[in-house]
Amino acid sequence: MFKAIGKLFTRIKQGLAKTRSVVGGALRILIGKGRTIDQGFLDQLEDTLLQADIGVAKTTEIISELKTRYRAGELAKGEELLDLLKRSLRAELQAPAVDELAWAAEGPTVVLVVGVNGAGKTTTIAKLAKRFKDQGKQVIIAAGDTYRAAAIEQLSIWAGRVGVELIKTHDGGDAAAVAFDAVAAAQARGADLVLIDTAGRLHNKEHLMRELEKIRRVIQKRLPTAPHETLLVLDATAGQNAIQQAKVFGAAMGVTGLVLTKLDGTAKGGVTITIRRELKLPVRFIGVGEQLDDLQPFDPDSFIEAIFSADGE
Ligand SMILES: Nc1nc2c(ncn2[C@@H]2O[C@H](COP(=O)(O)OP(=O)(O)OP(=O)(O)O)[C@@H](O)[C@H]2O)c(=O)[nH]1
Ligand SMILES: [Mg+2]
């Protein structure tokens, strides 16, 4: 058990290596010098937090809290400062979802996966399929991106690799019909989970939103309680843009949770905190690489520990 947790923590640390080297590295150097907390120190700390995309609002809040605490004599040691930082950031992130997904009370659980093109939807679906298949669940994937040429082919390859059933149509076919068929197939086979891939781009944004709404409507004809989750996939390297995208999708699509991808590709992993703060939506999973195993349920405690840890710890 502890060994498994240790391994998971090592992976999250590796996945967050870039953010960790900015935050953990800089802080260790700052604190390690045994410096007193003066204006120069606070300026450097502020730079570090902003570089990691923790956001102006949160950074300002942290710096002013530090000043108050320092004046009150509560921050004599570097470790105390580090604790305060961790606690303050951790407070922005809610407790992890117990079951990873909001499972349907009975029948298949339907998860609609949405997000702009290139965010990582299709890869995330493959990773989720693998994760839940490994947990013994029967998973069906729906190739609901019928717009982009090669999208169906890409998903077929993933489905083959993971070893799950794929429901698809021809390029340019009706995405909502594919989603409907996948739900029907899941009901017929007694499957546990349906993951619906969707297009990231259509002729224009209105068109895309209309199509996603249609998918929802059509699957509800088959299963009124679906979708049980609408996961919005956001590319962490997009920083503030990701927040804008989330606002557009969140308003239109009834998003229930977020998947933050490509955290391995950015030093701005602090955007996780900014996103949570601004969107009030739970981060369910994080993507830390391109392989099937590079997806983790988001655990706020390990996330905070990981970004503050230095290399070799
Ligand atoms: N490094 C890294 N790359 C990722 C991650 N998730 C996805 N990618 C890569 O991002 C690229 C786009 O991923 P897709 O899954 O095709 O994105 P999509 O949202 O389905 O894109 P469209 O189908 O065009 O809408 C691929 O090259 C993936 O390998 C991640 O967590 N880390
Ligand atoms: Mg895709």
Q: Identify the domain containing residue 84 by its residue range.
A: 2-90
Q: Give the pLDDT mean for 225-231.
A: 96
Residue 110's pLDDT band, with cuts at 50, 70 and 90, is very high
- Nearest ligand to residue 233 Cα: 1
Residues with CB under 5 A from ligand 2 (ion): 121-122
Give the mutation target among 235, 263, 290 for probing the ligand 1 site: most ligand atoms within 8 A of CB. Answer: 290
Q: Give the pLDDT mean for 194-210.
A: 88
- Nearest ligand to residue 124 Cα: 1
- Our CA angle for 210, 216, 218, nearest 5°, is 100
Q: Give the pLDDT mean for 1-16.
A: 76
Distances (CA, A) of 168 to 154, 198, 201, 209, 212: 12, 12, 18, 21, 16
In a shared domain, residues 182 and 66: no
Considering the domain boundaries, does residue 23 fall inside one? yes
Give the distance (Å) from ligand 2 centre to CA of residue 219.
20
pLDDT at residue 37, rounded to an integer: 77
pLDDT at 312 over 60: no
pLDDT at residue 4, rounded to an integer: 65
User: What residues does 286 pair with on adjacent strands?
Assistant: 260, 296
Could you give the CA distance from residue 199 to residue 278 in angstroms, rounded to a whole number?
Answer: 25
pLDDT at residue 5, rounded to an integer: 65
Give the distance (Å) from ligand 1 centre to CA of residue 3.
30
Which among 204, 187, 11 is positioned nearest to 106, based on CA atoms?
A: 187
Q: What is the CATH number of the domain that holds 181?
A: 3.40.50.300
219 vs 99 pLDDT, higher one: 219
Considering the domain boundaries, does residue 85 fall inside one? yes
Q: What is the CATH number of the domain that holds 78?
A: 1.20.120.140
Instruction: Say if residues 237 and 266 touch (Cβ distance below 8 Å).
Output: yes
Q: Give the pLDDT mean for 257-282.
A: 90
In a shared domain, residues 138 and 225: yes
Give the distance (Å) from ligand 1 centre to CA of residue 83.
35
Q: What is the pTM of this model?
A: 0.92
In a shared domain, residues 136 and 275: yes
Considering the domain boundaries, does residue 69 fall inside one? yes
Give the distance (Å) from ligand 1 centre to CA of residue 123.
6
Q: Which residues line ligand 1 (CB under 6 A)?
A: 115, 117-123, 145, 148, 151, 200, 233, 261-262, 264-265, 287-290, 294
pLDDT at 313 over 60: no
In a shared domain, residues 150 and 211: yes
Q: Give the pLDDT mean for 121-126.
A: 98
Q: Give the pLDDT mean for 156-184.
A: 96
Q: Give the pLDDT mean for 117-129.
A: 96
In a shared domain, residues 174 and 221: yes
Give the distance (Å) from ligand 2 centre to CA of residue 303.
27
